[in-house]
Each structure stands twice: as structure tokens, then as C-alpha cells.
Structure 1
Amino acid sequence: MNDIEFSAFLVSRVCHDLVGPLGAVVNGLEVLEDERDAAMRADALKIVTSSAAQALARLQFMRIAFGAAGSAGAELDLGEVGRLVTGLLSGGRLSVEWEPSHAHWPKDWAKLLMNAALIAADCLPRGGLIRISTPEGAPGFTITAEGTGVRISEDVAKALHGEALEPDARGVQPILTYRLARGVNAGLTITLKEGFVEIVAG
């Protein structure tokens, strides 16, 4: 897969993740335009509000996790990274426990953490708890994903080991995670343990 193909799949992933909430916003606005019943209008407004907030959280997250995130050599505030991760993953069937340390990380380390958190979420198809811990000092992290039916998909495991895959819009994100880990020499590992998945780097 060359860089142009990789970029195309990554853009497709972004579009895929935004279509759902933005489509719900459009549908809710159509209801508001046509509906006269107060209760129905109130429900539609709730849908518009929550879907718009979801779309914004995804955009803010992906702008950093998938995007350029500043100039070469830029550092990112770990507190802001924590806000973006928590904003994306919390709510619904997932909850996040993380108190980011007061630090600024090189952008590729921050992007690696964000992408690893996304992989942890994908290990919890029925929801659950994601715990993220970061040490003081040098960048590194441990992420655990705990919940009913926790698992690591075969494609994710292969991608994180650098094995060549036939990519698609969804599968490109673990490939990005592997490339980020290799770029910062993070020694990224993912392991299925008794009732939880653990992702470690650093």
C-alpha cells in the first residue's frame, strides 16, 4: 500500500465516522421544520443537539489523532489529549478512567496514545471500562479495556505486528497506530489477559 492509498483509506475512515451523527442532525432538522407537535419537536431537538456534539467530538479527536497536529517537532498538552479521548469515548456503553499527568508530549507520542485508546474501545463490542495510565517523565502508557466479550480482532493483532493486510476504511486505523509506534520506537504490545485487553507502550 503506497502513501496515496493509505491517505485515501484514512480520509474514508474520517468520512465514515462522521456520516452517522451528521445524518442524524439533518434528519432532526427536517423533523423540526415539518413537525408541529411540541413533544416531537423537543425529541428532535435533543437528537440534533446530541448528534452535533458527537460529530464535534469526533472531529476534534480525529484532527489530532489522524491529522498533522502542528508543525514538525510540535508538542501537545497531555491534558488536552485526555479531554479529547474522554470526550470521544465516554458516554453510551463506554466509560474512561484517566487523569492525565501534567506534561507536554511529542505529537507522535500523543497521536499514538489516542489511536491506541481507539483500538482499546474496539476491543469492547458490548461496552465496558477503559483505564489509561501515563508515567511521570518520558512518554509511555498502559491502557486496559475491560468488559463483557472483550476481544482482540485478528486483523488488529496482525496490523499492530506490522503484517501486511488488505486495508479498508476501518482497518487503516490500526495500520496508522503501528506506523506511529514504529516511528517513535514505542515497543507497542497488545495482549488479551483474563477478562481484559492490555495495550502498553514505552
Structure 2
Amino acid sequence: MTDLEFSAFLVSRVCHDLVGPLGAVVNGLEVLEDERDAAMRADALKIVTSSAAQALARLQFMRLAFGAAGSAGAELPLGEVGTLIAGLMSVGRVTLEFDPPPVHWPKDWAKLLMNATLIGVDCLPRGGVVRIEANGFGQAPGFKVTATGTGARISEDVERALKGEICEHDARGVQPVLTFRLAKGVNAGLTITPREGAVELVAG
């Protein structure tokens, strides 16, 4: 995959993740414009409000997880990272368990944690729990993401991408490639291990 293809796929992934909630906002606004029934208008307003909040949460998450996220060498508070992850997962069938320690991590480590968590969520097609354990004060950055739930699994393509192996990619499959590049950039030694009813991602 060339850098140009990588960039194009990543942009497509961002657009793909925003189309759903933004489309729901537009549909809700159309109902508000045409509907006169008070109950219908109230339901439409709820849809607009929740969908707009979901789109904002995804934008805030992806801006940091996929974007430049500040100047070179910047450090980010892990509590802020945890807030962004929680916002992304506030809608859906996956519950987050994460009590971030009050530390600052280099931005690429923070981005790696966010992307590893996103992979953990994708390993739970029927929902479940994603638990994050992160190193605290006085320790080098490191984490373990455990995705637990019925049918928890890691696809062969994602597993190969996380090992840096060449395989076919699309807009959705580019995110594991980004995760591999981030892990390689910080020498994280990222590993992914399928277990009974769970998948673990460990770095550091």
C-alpha cells in the first residue's frame, strides 16, 4: 500500500463513520420541518440530538486517534484520552471499563491506545466489555486491552495487518494498518492474542 492509498483509505474510513449519524441528523431535521404532530416532533428532536452527539464524539475521537494531535513530541493527559474513548463507546453494545491513571503519555502512545481499543471493540460483534489497563506514574507507557464477549474474535486480515503482513485493504481495514505503524513507530511490541471468549491486545 502506497502512502497515497493509505491516506485515501483513512479519509474514507472517517467519512464512513460519520455518514450514519449525520444522515440521521438530516432525516430528523426533515421530520421537524414537515411534521406537525407534537409527539413525532419530540421523537425527531431526540434523534437529532443523539445523532449529533454521536457524530461529535466520533469526530473528537478520530481527530486524535487518526490525526496529527498537536505538535511533535507533545504529551497528552491519559484522562482526556479516556474521556474521548468513553464518548465514542457511549452508544452501542460494548461497555468500557477504564480508570486512567493521572499521567501524560507521548501522543503516539495515546494514539496507539485509542486505535488498539477500537480494534478491541471491533472484536465484539455481539457486544461485550472492553477493559483497559494502563501503566501509571513512574512507569513507561504500556497497556493491555481485553475485549470480552460472546463470539469475541479477531479476523485473519486484522491479525495479519497488526503483524505488518501485506494483505488486501479497504477503508475499514486501513485502521489496523495505522495501528501497526503507530506500534512500530514507538517500538511498542504490540501483540494480539485470542482467548476463550476474549481477545487481548498488549503493548509495552
| Residues 1:16 and 2:39 are matched in the alignment | no
CA shift, 1:89, in A, is 1.4
| Residues 1:107 and 2:139 are matched in the alignment | no
> 1:63 and 1:165 mapped to 2: Cα distance?
26
Contact 2:54 2:91 in 1 (8 A): no
> 1:130 and 1:153 mapped to 2: Cα distance?
17
Query: What count of residue pairs does the alignment treat as equivalent?
Result: 202
> 1:91 and 1:147 mapped to 2: Cα distance?
17
Give the fraction of aligned pairs with identical amino acids, expressed as a percent.
78
Match of 1:162 in 2: 164
- Cα deviation code 1:110-153 (max 9, x no counterpart): 00000000000000001000000112221000010011111001
> 1:91 and 1:27 mapped to 2: Cα distance?
19
CA shift, 1:187, in A, is 0.4
Match of 2:84 in 1: 84
| Residues 1:146 and 2:152 are matched in the alignment | no
- Secondary structure of 1:92's counterpart equals coil
Q: CA RMSD in A?
A: 0.7
Q: Which runs of 5+ in 2 are unaligned?
A: none
CA shift, 1:2, in A, is 1.4
- TM-score under structure 2 normalisation? 0.98
- TM-score under structure 1 normalisation? 0.99
Structure 2 matches for 1:27-176, cutoff 5 A? 27-136=27-136, 137-176=139-178
> 1:165 and 1:79 mapped to 2: Cα distance?
35
Match of 2:194 in 1: 192
> Deviation above 2 Å: which 4+ runs of structure 1?
none
- Cα deviation code 1:79-102 (max 9, x no counterpart): 000000011013331100000011
CA shift, 1:194, in A, is 1.7
CA shift, 1:165, in A, is 1.6
> 1:90 and 1:38 mapped to 2: Cα distance?
28
> 2:135 and 2:122 mapped to 1: Cα distance?
24
> 1:124 and 1:37 mapped to 2: Cα distance?
39
> 1:12 and 1:145 mapped to 2: Cα distance?
26
- Cα deviation code 1:147-181 (max 9, x no counterpart): 11110011110100111122110000000000000
CA shift, 1:3, in A, is 1.0
- Secondary structure of 1:130's counterpart equals strand
The amino acid that maps onto 1:175 is: V
